[in-house]
Amino acid sequence: MSRRFQGALVRIFATLVAGMLAGGGLLNAEPAGSRPVVGHLVSKAGTLFAREKPGQDWKSIAAKGEVHDGDLLVGLPGAVLTCANRAVDLTLLTDFNKNSPYPVLEAAVVLHASADHDLDFTLDRGRVDVINRKKEGAARVRIRFHDQQWEATLAEPGTRLALQLYGRWAKGVPFRKEPGSKDVPAADLLLVVRKGQVELKHGSCYCPMSAPPGPAFLHWDNSGEPEEAPQKLEKLPDWVATEQADSELAQRIKKYIERFRRQIVKSSLREAVRAFVTSEDPYERRVGVITLGALDNLEGLGEVINGTKYPDAWDLAVVVTRHWLGRCPGQDQILYQRLLDKRGLKPVQAAGILQLLHSFGDADLAQPELYKMLVKFLDNDVLGIRGLAHWHLVRLVPAGKKIGFNPLDPKDKRDKARDQWKKLIDDMLSKRELPPKPSAK
Amino acid sequence: MSSSILRLTPLLVVAAMAFASSPAPAQFTVAGGIAAPALLPPPIFPYGRYGGLGYGLGVGAGLGYGFGWNNWMQNPYEGYLNGAANVTTANAQYQLTIQQAKLAREEARRSALQTRRAALEERQYELSLMPDAEQLRQQQLMKSLQRSRNNPPLTEIWSATALNDLLRAIQLAHTRGVTGPAVPLSTETLKHINMTAGTTRGGVGLLRNDGKLTWPYVLRRSTFDEQRKRMDESLAKAVKAAHAGPVAAELLHDLTATQKQLERALDGWVADLTPSEFIQGSRYLRELKDSIRLLQESDVSRYFRTEWTPQGSTVAELVRQMTRQGLRFAPAVSGDESYYTSLHRSLVDYDMGLSQLTAMQPRP
């Protein structure tokens, strides 16, 4: 065999290998560098996105692709990861049936290398399930979230644990440019043993837990109050079995998520998001806008707020931004700074937007001035301010929905709608229909 | 004999007819051996031929009327009598039916009346449990009091709604001669409590300290300097005048005009204010408007007299003073909220003590 022929064979073989690797997506994966591989994607390509550091681009993990230590991973609902030794699966889920105690939009985790645990991960936000996939024996899992580190031992193969972490600014907590140590969003974690037995250790507490009927439920929050003991459940709550959700809504959400995944595989994550955000289909827009928030794409959310022609996308962008703000302390400061630096808003305008993205408390809602202020803000030159003022008004005074104020309309049209709002609010204030009587605590 | 019978025939027919027209005794209708009472008059026609038989024999033979022990043939008179008896029986049956029908109708009428009375009683019964308007008002007050006692929303404390609910309950207990425990009140707290006679929404509020206003941050901006200065000067003059009597109309007009200018100026700056700044400024100007309205009252001076300012070192003393003067609590002005919360706590403590003492009192 001539050298020339041998060289040609080597080149063909190399091309084939490269092609196979590319088909498997491995060449698309982040170079490992010094960071160890801590898991693999089990679900289809286009269901999981990874980012090494804030500010870097997101990369779509290919099928069976590697997951590296410390990467922030955001998954489409249904994305499944397995840890390095394949002893534990981690499923990223969402609230398909809209019946969860908290309106979870997306799930995000960080996997860590650990010699002592089969799976060591940080639950950044959202809903995940942890399953012991060993053929026999217990699986050890370390669960991190906020400042907590919990140890869970999943006693036998098939043992399954559901976790849901949600954060949000509590009602009436105002935006502060210089927040104190207590100015943090409220965070809640729900833990449910779905199958089998789990030994849970957190702090000095040791909690043997088991699936219903048994001590299956634990609730943690960052209020600083003593932690609760596990509560007995007779049966699993409906919101837990999200993957079995078969309502019409759930089916539709799943269909659009699959369509989104295919679009990602076909083009790229960036292109798919762009196409969905600007789609004529409201469900595609919904998937697109939620993904913008999930991927920390504040610029994208800003573009939706400033440029979309669809009121539903505008409205959802506000909800997604509020979710984003509630994830953890400091998010509101990041947005405030961005509004100053990137959008060129005045400090008073940026602070105004942030105040409107927080909620009003009972004391505020009892003031007639609040309603007058919101009506006056309908006239604001800053789209974000007038849009958010309207966003609150229709929630506080539903009777005004029919007026149909659209912050994206031209000024003369907006002025007419604003005048109608002013008349409505003045009438209601004079008839003492506003402010509403607050409910007793 | 036959000729004599023939002669008597018309007479017998008449007699039979007369007999038939009279009501028949029941025993005539009964067949089958029931004995006829002996007191009954004998048949008008003597059964001489069967002498000694009559009813007694028939019954004694166990055969009953018309069926003697011997099968004799009926003669025409017997046929008449038999027919007359049948007519009588039918007539009696008719009368009985009519009577029974009447009884049934009467029973039905009584039943209807009972039903109607029962319906009326039922309505009365329903009404007896249904509260009238006054009872409803009392229930509403009680509900409101319960809410004010049990950790009401802060906004209800600051609007003085909860304080006035408790005040009413304490005043009611005082009129019954029950006095609660000594719950102390600080002078500092009382300084920040507004009272009203009900003719105005607010109390002295911002007019305290001789009308020297404590402007919020947003209205301290240089933009508002001119109006603020004019308001300070005019208000000080007006309050000074109010101590002595009615305030001059020109001064009141100036105050109202300046307040409106401030409102317009604040509205003009809305784009440069955060929502909280705008709410803070607007609220302060509303409170200022309420205070100016109070200055428009002809007997405004009473608001500045000692007896119209909160007095007393305990809750009981404060309530007695308010009862004497016919006062109630007015809403808190900006900055006084914490004092209202503190006073609410004291009123609840006193009210709880009163409730315990009332429960321990012997019932008459």
Q: How high is the pLDDT of residue B253?
A: 96
Is it the case that residue B46 has pLDDT exceeding 60?
A: no
pLDDT in tens, B99-129: 777 777 777 666 666 665 655 565 555 555 5
Instruction: Respond yes or no on whether the N-terminal peptide bond of residue A101 is cis (omega within 30° of 0).
Output: no
CB contact (8 A) between residue A440 and residue B153:
yes
The CA-CA-CA angle for residues A418, A421, A427, to 5°, reads 145
DSSP tag of B131: -
pLDDT in tens, A289-314: 999 999 999 999 999 988 888 888 99
Cα end-to-end distance, chain B, whole Å:
104
Take residue B105 and report the two structure tokens written for it: 């109708």
| Chain B residues lying within 8 Å of A367, measured CB to CB | 279, 283
Average pLDDT of span B179-187? 92
Take residue B180 and report the two structure tokens written for it: 């609660």
pLDDT in tens, A168-193: 898 888 899 999 888 889 999 999 99
Chain A: residue whose CA lies nearest to B161: A437
Gap between the Cα atoms of A402 and A291, Å rounded: 30
CB contact (8 A) between residue A373 and residue B270:
yes
Is it the case that residue A258 has pLDDT exceeding 90?
A: yes
Chain A to chain B Cβ contacts (< 8 Å) = 63
| Chain B residues lying within 8 Å of A364, measured CB to CB | 279
Q: How high is the pLDDT of residue B113?
A: 61
Q: How high is the pLDDT of residue A248?
A: 85
Angle between helices A411-430 and A368-377 (to 10 degrees): 170
| Chain A residues lying within 8 Å of B275, measured CB to CB | 352, 355-356, 373-374, 377
Average pLDDT of span A225-239? 87
Are B331 and B201 in contact by the 8 Å Cβ rule? The answer is yes
Chain B: residue whose CA lies nearest to A176: B276
Are B197 and B334 in contact by the 8 Å Cβ rule? The answer is no
Average pLDDT of span B16-26? 46
Q: How high is the pLDDT of residue B128?
A: 53
* pLDDT, mean over chain B: 76
Is it the case that residue B39 has pLDDT exceeding 50?
A: no
Are B243 and B304 in contact by the 8 Å Cβ rule? The answer is yes
Gap between the Cα atoms of A411 and A54, Å rounded: 38
A364 closest CB neighbour out of B267, B270, B279: B279
Q: How high is the pLDDT of residue B64?
A: 38
Average pLDDT of span B285-305? 90
**Window A:342-361, CB contacts with B under 8 Å:** 346, 348, 351-352, 355-356
Percentage of residues of chain B with pLDDT beyond 90: 38
Gap between the Cα atoms of A69 and A122, Å rounded: 11
Chain B: residue whose CA lies nearest to A173: B276
Is some CB atom of chain B closer than 8 A to the CB atom of A388? no
A373 closest CB neighbour out of B147, B153, B278: B278
pLDDT in tens, B124-168: 555 555 556 666 677 777 777 888 888 888 888 998 989 999 999
Question: HSE on the CB side for B135, CA within 13 Å?
Answer: 6
What ipTM did this prediction achieve?
0.73
Gap between the Cα atoms of B317 and B323, Å rounded: 10
Which of 2.60.120.1440, 1.10.760.10, 1.10.1070.11, 3.40.605.10 would CATH assign to domain A24-244? 2.60.120.1440
Is some CB atom of chain B closer than 8 A to the CB atom of A372? yes
Q: How high is the pLDDT of residue A7?
A: 52
CA distance A347 to chain B (A): 9
Residue B57 vs residue B335, higher pLDDT: B335
Chain B: residue whose CA lies nearest to A435: B155
Which of the four pLDDT bands, split at 50, 70 and 90, describes residue B45? very low
Instruction: Respond yes or no on whether the N-terminal peptide bond of residue A407 is cis (omega within 30° of 0).
Output: no
Gap between the Cα atoms of B85 and B78, Å rounded: 10
A348 closest CB neighbour out of B147, B274, B282: B274
Q: How high is the pLDDT of residue A15?
A: 44
Q: How high is the pLDDT of residue B10?
A: 55
Q: How high is the pLDDT of residue A73?
A: 97
Is it the case that residue A243 has pLDDT exceeding 80?
A: no
Tell me which range, B76-80, B140-144, B210-214, B230-234, is most confidently predicted by mean pLDDT.
Answer: B230-234
Is it the case that residue B36 has pLDDT exceeding 50?
A: no
Query: Biggest alpha carbon distance in chain A?
Result: 99
| Chain B residues lying within 8 Å of A365, measured CB to CB | 155
Q: How high is the pLDDT of residue B37?
A: 41
pLDDT in tens, A323-340: 999 999 999 999 999 999
**Window B:153-192, CB contacts with A under 8 Å:** 153-156, 158-159
Residue A17 vs residue B304, higher pLDDT: B304
Domain with CATH 2.60.120.1440 in chain A: 24-244
Are B153 and A439 in contact by the 8 Å Cβ rule? The answer is yes
Reported pTM: 0.69
